[in-house]
């Protein structure tokens, strides 16, 4: 990710319009490459993404959450074992809350063993029935080996039952912005009402990487041993591309072959999700092609830092005469390579601001457009409080406001 501080894209001036809004000027153009062919290529459109064999797919920029390409990515599909990423998120969140610990002994119950163990057609971890293993070992058995038995055992330990754990899954899914997903079990075997979308799963991947990096790191483990059984991670990209460090595969007859992958090259990270592919190799080939396309043709920029002034605005009837406005979190944007200088930021701010103003109070919006389309926007907030001024200050400003009107 190219980090460009606020100074590089600072607003030169803010003009107040007769309609009562202020508009920020375009940032300073990025430096142009010296070679003419490179400059010419900047004006070419981004070529279409590779053809993907699957029911639904998406490529998302990790830093911004922008969808760079996709097809049917809001269609509900069966998530298969990619479900276990949601299970990992819940376990990590409950650990962070102090409700369970990584050293907890987790029982491989008879139910977990019968429903997801070696006697079933699905993937299993190999932990012995009616014996315990530390929670973190059980989780690695679920993540690396895609053990359905381990997923059930973890659900029972964290919430008492699969049904109760599914309620936690849906609560956390809503919290991370998964708008079209509903989970019924912790493992992803086909069950009525157990659905997600490619976009939701990419958002889940972002959330796991951002919120629980240690739990995420288990996804790059290439093989794991439980007792006499060593199994390989089914994500073939871990062997083919050193920049790939996750995330999860899935497969059953109803879902087809699925893969949620993530790679980091330099400061830029991308997440791909391919659902309903035709084979284990095809899902890997398509995911690799998507990641390569995204890294080749897109880049991420930091336009504004959190809690740094973007604009100063006049305040009436206040103990101070102005307030600084900024964003409460970094504002980043993904653009086609070479298009940075064409970004156009603007600010919509009320013409008249009157004290008192609270710190963090929303005052307008900053938007960034490219080729006439909004690619990012964020509320502008007051970076400090402005208390109400004294009696004479308020009366004087009341007079001046009347005069200006």
- Whether residue 239 contacts residue 71, with contact meaning beta carbons closer than 8 Å, is answered with no
Q: How far is 24 from 8, CA to CA, in rounded Å?
A: 14
Look up 167 and say whether it is catalytic: no
Look up 84 and say whether it is catalytic: yes
Q: Which of 81, 88, 262, 346 is catalytic?
A: 81
* Closest of 80, 213, 207, 225 to residue 140, by C-alpha: 225
By CB neighbour count within 10 A (0-12 exposed, 13-18 middle, 19+ buried), where does 51 fall? exposed
Q: How far is 297 from 100, CA to CA, in rounded Å?
A: 43
Q: How far is 396 from 405, CA to CA, in rounded Å?
A: 14
In sequence order, which residues have a C-beta less than 8 Å from that of residue 219 and are 6 or more positions away?
A: 143, 144, 233, 235, 245, 246, 247, 248
Tell me how far CA of residue 66 lies from CA of 24, 205, 207, 372, in angstroms: 23, 13, 14, 17
- Whether residue 185 contacts residue 166, with contact meaning beta carbons closer than 8 Å, is answered with yes
- Whether residue 185 contacts residue 191, with contact meaning beta carbons closer than 8 Å, is answered with yes
Q: How far is 162 from 184, CA to CA, in rounded Å?
A: 8
* Closest of 252, 248, 226, 224 to residue 237, by C-alpha: 248
In sequence order, which residues have a C-beta less than 8 Å from that of residue 200 and are 6 or more positions away?
A: 173, 177, 178, 179, 180, 181
Q: Which residue has the tokens 């062919």?
A: 37
Q: How far is 326 from 387, CA to CA, in rounded Å?
A: 18
Look up 146 and say whether it is catalytic: yes
- Whether residue 325 contacts residue 349, with contact meaning beta carbons closer than 8 Å, is answered with yes
Q: Which of 146, 196, 262, 311 is catalytic?
A: 146
Q: Which of 55, 84, 140, 339 is catalytic?
A: 84
Q: How far is 341 from 30, CA to CA, in rounded Å?
A: 5
Q: Tokens in use for 24? A: 């920020």
- Whether residue 325 contacts residue 363, with contact meaning beta carbons closer than 8 Å, is answered with yes
Q: Which residues does the annotation mark as catalytic?
A: 81, 84, 146
């Amino acid at each position: 990710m190219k980090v460009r501080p606020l100074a590089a894209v600072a607003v030169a001036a803010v003009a107040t319009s007769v309609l009562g809004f202020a508009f920020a000027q375009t940032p300073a153009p990025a430096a142009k490459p010296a070679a003419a062919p490179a400059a010419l290529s900047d004006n070419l459109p981004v070529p279409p993404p590779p053809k993907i064999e699957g029911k639904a797919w998406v490529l998302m920029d990790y830093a911004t959450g922008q969808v760079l390409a996709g097809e049917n990515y809001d269609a509900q599909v069966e998530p298969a074992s990619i479900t276990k990423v949601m299970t990992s998120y819940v376990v990590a969140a409950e650990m962070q809350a102090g409700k369970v610990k990584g050293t907890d002994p987790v029982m491989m119950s008879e139910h977990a063993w019968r429903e997801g163990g070696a006697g079933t057609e699905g993937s299993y971890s190999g932990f012995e029935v009616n014996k315990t293993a530390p929670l973190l070992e059980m989780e690695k058995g679920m993540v690396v080996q895609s053990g359905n038995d381990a997923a059930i055992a973890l659900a029972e330990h964290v919430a008492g039952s699969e049904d109760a754990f599914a309620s936690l899954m849906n609560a956390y899914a809503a919290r991370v912005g998964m708008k079209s997903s509903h989970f019924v079990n912790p493992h992803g075997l086909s069950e009525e009402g157990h659905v997600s979308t490619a976009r939701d799963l990419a958002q889940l991947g972002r959330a796991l990487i951002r919120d629980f990096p240690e739990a995420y790191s288990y996804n790059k483990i290439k093989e794991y041993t439980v007792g006499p059984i060593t199994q390989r991670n089914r994500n073939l990209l871990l062997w083919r591309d050193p920049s790939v460090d996750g995330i999860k595969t899935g497969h059953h007859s109803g879902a087809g072959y699925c893969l949620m992958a993530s790679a980091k090259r330099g400061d830029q990270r991308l997440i791909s999700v391919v659902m309903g592919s035709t084979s284990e190799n095809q899902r890997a080939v398509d995911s690799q092609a998507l990641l390569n396309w995204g890294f080749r043709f897109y880049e991420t920029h930091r336009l504004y830092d959190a809690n740094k002034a973007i604009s100063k605005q006049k305040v009436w009837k206040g103990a101070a005469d102005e307030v600084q406005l900024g964003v409460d979190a970094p504002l980043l944007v993904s653009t086609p390579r070479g298009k940075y200088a064409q970004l156009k930021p603007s600010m919509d701010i009320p013409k008249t601001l009157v004290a008192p103003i609270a710190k963090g109070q929303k005052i307008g919006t900053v938007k960034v457009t490219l080729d006439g389309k909004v690619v990012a926007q964020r509320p502008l907030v007051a970076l400090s409080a402005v208390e109400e001024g004294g009696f004479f200050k308020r009366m004087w400003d009341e007079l001046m406001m009347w005069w200006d009107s």
